[in-house]
Amino acid sequence: MSIDWAIIPMAGIGSRMRPLTRAVPKELLPMVDKPLIDWIIDEINLANIANIVLVTHPSKVAIKEYFSDLEQVRTSAKIHIVEQMEPLGLGHAVGCAQSVIGLEDFAVILPDVLLTDVQSHLVSPILKNMVDIFTQTQQSQILVENVEVSEIEKYGIAETTSSNLQISRMLEKPGMHETDSTLAIVGRYLFSRSIWKEIEQLKSGKGGELQLTDAIQNLLVKEIVCCYVMGVGDESYDCGNKLGYVRAFLQLAQGYK
């Protein structure tokens, strides 16, 4: 069995990119010659995922208008839109998509994290590679990359067993002395359907939100979850902040003659 569903949580207000995002949702900000969300769609197309669930907010009317004209959205995937009425965390946002997906395996793609291939200056095939591995192993996977120790408090962090990259513990934005791991979650997840039960049972975690990392931690007790570590030649850009956005723009612009 492969992955037929991708969830894109996009109900956030883009506070780190304000005041620009007061006028334009961050997902529709220009990235070279098309909106940022189109690059995310390209990544999903490359992975041959058949259905996309956009989890948005009623106030983001521009998102609904953009996706209402499917001729301008270059994808063969079927688009579904659901609403997250309150900002209750990533775990809650993912849970909002269950009404459409049911109890199927799925991917989660954060739209403000852009993955590029340094040589081609196009989107990275990492998601496709992760889907291929899932098809073979049926094991949940989380994309990670090594960050500086001083940066770990900004990310969800995965601790692993010694050699096989099987995750042993998840931490949400830990302090520098809470873990020795520097494997930060990048923003791509592939889940077996078993995660749905853990999401349904989530309680408020760090920041008073329903944290996806808590659901993953609970899943670890029942089945294997592995890391997929970004390698040489791939770059991640946090386009939810101004510096990451500019760096991604310059990287992708080099692919145009």
> Which of these ranges, 69-73, 76-80, 218-222, has the smallest mean pLDDT?
69-73
Residue 13 has pLDDT above 90, yes or no: no
Burial track 8-40 (b if 16+ CB lie within 10 A, e otherwise): bbbbbebebbeeebeeebbbbbebbebbbbbbb
pLDDT 10s digits, 137-192? 999 999 999 999 989 998 889 999 866 789 999 888 898 889 999 999 999 999 99
Q: What is the mean pLDDT of the chain?
A: 90
Q: How confident is the model at residue 257 (pLDDT cuts 50, 70, 90)?
A: low
pLDDT in tens, 83-136: 999 889 999 999 999 999 999 999 999 999 999 987 777 889 999 999 999 999
Q: Structural domain boundaries of the chain?
A: 5-253
Q: Is the pLDDT of residue 73 over 90?
A: no
**Superfamily name and number for 5-253:** Spore Coat Polysaccharide Biosynthesis Protein SpsA; Chain A (3.90.550.10)
pLDDT for position 238? 93
> Is residue 209 scored above 90 in pLDDT?
no
Q: Contact at 8 Å (CB) between 124 and 248?
A: no
Please state the rounded mean pLDDT for residues 69-74: 67
Tens of pLDDT, residue by residue over 224-234, are 999 999 988 88
Rounded CA-CA distance 76/129 in Å is 19
Q: Which two tokens stand for residue 161?
A: 């067993």
